[in-house]
Chains A and B, each alone.
Chain A
Amino acid sequence: MESNIFRSSIGIVCAMMASGVLAPDAIGQTIPVKKGPVAQAQPVGDAIAGAKLYERKCTGCHSLDANSVGPSHRGVVGRRAGSVAGYSYSKPLGKSKLIWTEANLDLWLKSPPKLVPGTRMGLQLPDATERRNVIAFLSKNTAPKP
């Protein structure tokens, strides 16, 4: 009986999601570790393509292991925004309380000033596949440098 109720509840939630009654944001707010905007889950990207794109688009200001014009990126996925030691963040980003989930990174790379008005980062990746690939590359670089 409980099992049936449980299944029915899942069915209702899924139906509400499909109909747009429950927005992903609303669902995300029930998960305490996800702070700030939360986007829908995306397909997994291509980390190799992402590495090439990272080299081309991001390394003017960032690197994996050193703070530069922008903060270092190793371990960024899952990290709290504005938390890299030794890097001086803009006030809005420092106060944002965002966690760099893959979903939040997707929103960030789509338009940094839209997600965090007042940020210094301007580079946008309008192409969803490019964003997924860069995020896949960043996700591969979570371990501390040996």
Chain B
Amino acid sequence: MTESNTNRRNILTGAATLSAGGLLALAASATPAAARSTRKSSAKAAGQDAELLNAAIALEHQGIGAYDIALGSGLVPASATDLVKTIQGHHKQHRDDLAAAVTRLGGKPVESKTIADYAKELNAASITSLTDIQRLALRLETGAANAYLGLIAPLSDSGLHLLVAQMAADEASHAAIFILDLKEAYPAKAPLYG
């Protein structure tokens, strides 16, 4: 090795040592502020995710209320009540899963309104037949499927993406039942949702 090469290596080693030391010193001084900033940013993102999920909980509360209204209307035949209760049960599971997620994110899950509130929102007074109930259910389930798909992009916690995608698929499955019940034209163009 030539002297020139040795010197160059020493210079590089020394520089590297200094750089590492400098970096350590910098890191030591910068970490608390950086960590605070990261924590603040994470807390903000979690808070935003909780707000978005709370809107989804409100949607689930409304769906549960709508099926209560349907079951109490006397318009659903006995042969269909088990299926309606099963679908309502899915919405209750969604509500509970979303509420657990909101709590984990540090938020407070939104509470349900009264059945009278939902009856007013959904114009239940205009429901006079099973077909009216099926049409309302199709509208709500389709809307919910689209709403869940719309939540994927803004949610910052990627762990929540699967959760809302699963819920979108559930709602789409419910909607398909009512499309068939109502003998509606099955959409020819994909994607059907989103």
Interface residues on A, range: 20 to 34
Report the interface size for chain B: residues with CB under 8 A from the other chain: 27
Residues of chain B contacted by A69 (CB below 8 angstroms)? 55, 58-59, 62
Known interface pairs A120-B52, A124-B154. Does A60 touch B140 (Cβ–Cβ under 8 Å)?
Answer: yes
Determine the distance from Cα of A57 to Cα of B168 in the docked complex, in whole angstroms. 13
Residues of chain A contacted by B121 (CB below 8 angstroms)? 66-68
Which label, helix, strand, loop or mixed, suits the secondary structure of the A interface?
loop
Determine the distance from Cα of A61 to Cα of B147 in the docked complex, in whole angstroms. 8
Mask: chain B, 15-58; 1 = CB below 8 Å from A; 0 = not:
00000000000000000000000000000100110011011001
Known interface pairs A67-B121, A69-B62. Does A56 touch B47 (Cβ–Cβ under 8 Å)?
Answer: no
Determine the distance from Cα of A59 to Cα of B146 in the docked complex, in whole angstroms. 9
Q: Are B55 and A61 in contact (CB under 8 A)?
A: yes
Residues of chain A contacted by B139 (CB below 8 angstroms)? 59
- B interface, CB within 8 angstroms of A: 44, 47-48, 51-52, 54-55, 58-59, 62, 120-123, 139-140, 142-147, 150-151, 153-155
- A interface, CB within 8 angstroms of B: 56-57, 59-61, 66-70, 90, 111-113, 117-124, 126
